[in-house]
DNA sequence: CGCCTATGTAACATAACGGTTACAGAGACA
DNA sequence: TGTCTCTGTAACCGTTATGTTACATAGGCG
């Protein structure tokens, strides 16, 4: 899971520490010691996550985010804050922040929270296309093209193919698919997955010549 | 799938009910009626799952978990909560909780969720590749490459090789293999291991020139 | 060398797994 | 309400993985 992360933190050593650790995790980062220029960046570039110190000299971090929200920027935010009085925390949440973390924090926790937020927001990011071999899955219009031919999919089929394609080369077991496609509270039988997969197979490869979806006996399914 | 589960629930009868049912499922459990002593346990012992009432007298369950996260404890959590207002649920998730279940709940659902969480956290640990000499075992795609040639394995063969390779240079006896590959509740004969090992040997080294798997007479097998 | 035990091998039986199909209920839509 | 589509469930069946058994072989030890 790669992502473009903007960090605003006035203490340079902390800023560098965060950047170093996040890049080690494979994220692209850019750091600022003030909110200057950040607004423009958020408006113009596709930023996946903003990590924002709340105790910046001059502007309150949450004030800045509130302004951003007003001009239509929806980038999720994780606040860094030395305060941990509950009122502050609640305030941060109320204004649309997605998470907070109190200093001092450890890197492991920050990374975990980042991944959690990205995972959560990845869902509503429906831009872009996913490609696998000659399969093109348009996440915006929810259309599937195979060899440039449009193939209609039901919601279930689309979601199923989507999670398969976003985990290509990884064998997904039925429980995983049930949880991620049907929902974590779904209590269905794993045979349900079975049938759904085969309906999908039938649609995307009627004459069974392509073998996009490989079944791994005793385990699950994979796109490989 | 055995696991060590800590339960925090102030109502003793509910606590006992949960413990009874989980132990019936083969889990090791320990129950507490308050968070006292729980923090220490989580830090010192390897706990697989925490089941946490959110409505404890005094401390908020999620506050307690947040504190634990701050000191580096990553134990997954399932919250028990009587509240079901959506805001509460989201908050629980946002702060790093892995799942929640609202009271009143039925045991079946709780057990299902427990198994799901355990499986999910186990999976995170098992990504990547394992290498031994010229053997490359891809845990995600469940593929085996020897000298860059792909060799198909059945589920059993894969799991067997996986535990061998993750215990290389250690002689594993048949009981260990039965428990870890076939499952702790498996009641097979040790000849079963024998045959499985040899089927694996045949696949990964047909002309018996490499001798990846060494049999240690009277003890078991090892990759050394 | 000869015995004994552990291990390898091959054949067989069966249980598990997954593909397929048919059907019924749920939901959308007119 | 009636119709149509989507989707979960159950039943059936072929395929294959795998446990079991029986027998062959190899290794250790006197």
* Token pair of A33 as six digits: 């010691």
B154 with A218: Cβ contact below 8 A:
yes
Domain made up of B129-223: CATH architecture:
Orthogonal Bundle (1.10)
- Helix (H/G/I), strand (E/B), else coil: B100: strand
* Token pair of B167 as six digits: 């215990």
- Under 8 Å CB pairs connecting chains A and B tally to 49
Residue A89 makes CB contacts below 8 A (sequence gap 6+) with: A81, A83, A100
Report, as an integer, the average pLDDT of B196-202.
93
> Which among A219, A134, A158 has a CA at the least distance from the CA of B141?
A219
B133 or A224: whose pLDDT is higher?
Answer: B133
Taking CB atoms and an 8 Å cutoff, what residues of chain B touch A222? Answer: 141-142
- Rounded (to 5) percent helix, strand, coil in chain A: 40, 20, 40
- The rounded distance, in Å, linking the Cα atoms of B19 and B27 is 9
Q: What are the extents of the domains in chain A?
A: 4-122, 129-223
Task: Check residue B200 and give its pLDDT.
Answer: 94
> Which among A53, A42, A34 has a CA at the least distance from the CA of A75?
A42
> Which among B141, B112, B3, B2 has a CA at the least distance from the CA of A173?
B141
Task: Check residue B61 and give its pLDDT.
Answer: 77
**Helix axis angle, B107-125 to B12-24, nearest 10°:** 60
> Which among A17, A19, A71 has a CA at the least distance from the CA of A42?
A71
Report, as an integer, the average pLDDT of B75-99.
60
* Token pair of B35 as six digits: 């968070």
**Per-residue pLDDT for B72 more than 90?**
no
Task: Check residue A190 and give its pLDDT.
Answer: 84
Read off the pLDDT of residues A97-120 as tens digits, 9 standing for 90 and up.
467 677 777 787 788 778 777 766
Q: In the structure, what pLDDT confidence band is assigned to residue B102 with cuts at 50, 70 and 90?
A: low
Task: Check residue A94 and give its pLDDT.
Answer: 42
Strands of B213-216's sheet, edge to edge?
B172-173, B220-223, B213-216
Read off the pLDDT of residues A158-175 as tens digits, 9 standing for 90 and up.
989 988 988 888 899 988
Strands of A28-32's sheet, edge to edge?
A28-32, A4-8, A49-53, A77-81, A99-102
> If you compute the radius of gyration of chain A from its CA atoms, what whole number of angstroms results?
21
Mutate: best of B60, B63, B65, B66, partner A, most A CBs <10 A: B66
| A219 has a chain B CB within 8 A of its CB | yes
Distance A11 CA to D24 C1' (A): 76
Given A93, A102, A179, which is nearest B116 (Cβ)? A179
Listed as ranges, residues in chain A with pLDDT below 50 are 85-97, 123-126
Task: Check residue B49 and give its pLDDT.
Answer: 92
| A218 has a chain B CB within 8 A of its CB | yes
**Per-residue pLDDT for B109 more than 80?**
no
| Sign of the CA dihedral with A137 first, then A143, A148, and A152 last | positive
> Which among A109, A105, A103, A75 has a CA at the least distance from the CA of A4?
A75
Q: Out of A160-169, B96-105, B131-140, B208-217, which region has the weakest mean confidence (pLDDT)?
A: B96-105
Report, as an integer, the average pLDDT of B144-172.
91
**Per-residue pLDDT for B90 more than 50?**
no
What burial class does residue A147 get, using C-beta atoms within 10 Å of its C-beta: 0-12 exposed, 13-18 middle, 19+ buried?
Answer: exposed
Report, as an integer, the average pLDDT of B200-220.
89
Q: Which CATH class is domain B4-125?
A: alpha beta
* Token pair of B72 as six digits: 């580096």
Task: Check residue A184 and give its pLDDT.
Answer: 61
Please name the fold of domain A4-122: Rossmann fold (3.40.50)
* Token pair of A156 as six digits: 């279930």
B141 with A224: Cβ contact below 8 A:
yes
**Per-residue pLDDT for B73 more than 70?**
yes
Is the CB of residue A80 less than 8 Å from the CB of residue A53?
yes
> What is the DSSP secondary-structure string of B179-203?
IIII-TT----HHHHHHHHHHHHHH
- Name the residue closest to the C1' of C16 by its CA: A218
**Per-residue pLDDT for B62 more than 90?**
no
Task: Check residue B93 and give its pLDDT.
Answer: 47
């Amino acid at each position: 899971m790669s992502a473009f992360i903007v960090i605003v933190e006035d203490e340079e050593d902390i800023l560098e520490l965060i950047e170093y650790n996040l890049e080690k995790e494979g994220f692209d980062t850019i750091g600022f010691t003030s909110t200057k220029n950040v607004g423009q960046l958020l408006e113009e570039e596709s930023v996946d996550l903003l990590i924002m110190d709340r105790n910046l000299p001059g502007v309150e971090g949450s004030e800045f985010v509130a302004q951003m929200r007003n001009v239509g920027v929806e980038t999720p935010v994780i606040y860094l804050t030395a305060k941990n009085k509950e009122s502050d925390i609640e305030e941060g949440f109320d204004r649309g922040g997605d998470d907070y973390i109190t200093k001092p924090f450890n890197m492991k926790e920050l990374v975990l929270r980042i991944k959690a937020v990205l995972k959560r927001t990845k869902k509503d990011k429906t831009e872009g296309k996913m490609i696998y071999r000659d399969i093109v899955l348009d996440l915006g219009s929810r259309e599937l093209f195979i060899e440039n031919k449009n193939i209609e999919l039901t919601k279930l089929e689309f979601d199923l193919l989507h999670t398969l394609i976003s985990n290509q080369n990884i064998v997904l077991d039925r429980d995983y698919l049930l949880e991620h496609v049907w929902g974590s509270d779904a209590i269905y039988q794993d045979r349900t997955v079975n049938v759904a997969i085969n309906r999908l197979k039938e649609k995307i490869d009627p004459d069974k010549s392509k073998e996009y979806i490989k079944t791994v006996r005793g385990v699950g399914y994979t796109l490989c």
